[in-house]
Amino acid sequence: MRNKNYACFFFLIFILFSLSSASDTNKDYNNFICYFAGIEILKADKISTPSEKAYIYKVLCDITGVNAKKAKDFIKRYYNKPEEWKKITSKVVELIQKSK
């Protein structure tokens, strides 16, 4: 199970790099999508130790350029825009499903 979660995580990293040719605005948006997908994978991981999860989280933040504060600010922008937020969560789910 642990190897599958790591494989999913590294697939997300691959997706992120493949999206790097997008415009800066799209790249930032895609970074948040990858960050949220990575967070969901980490939350679902019941095998990794807390220190392993902390390391993976750090790598996720380094690669996406997103941290908890930036993620909260991003979420706040869509707080009163449920249709837009639904599109974001759909993209997160789609990315996670592609990684399986």
What is the average per-residue pLDDT within 5-27?
Answer: 60
Domain range list for the chain: 2-98
pLDDT confidence band for 1 (50 / 70 / 90) = very low
Other CB atoms closer than 10 Å to residue 13's CB: what's the count?
15
What is the average per-residue pLDDT within 30-53?
Answer: 88
**Cα gap 54→71, rounded to integer Å:** 17
> Where do runs of H (alpha helix) occur along the chain?
2-18, 24-44, 50-64, 68-77, 82-98
Which pLDDT belongs to residue 100? 64
pLDDT confidence band for 23 (50 / 70 / 90) = low
Could you tell me the pTM of the whole model? 0.78
The predicted-structure confidence for 56-87, as pLDDT tens digits, reads as follows 898 889 888 999 999 999 999 998 999 999 99
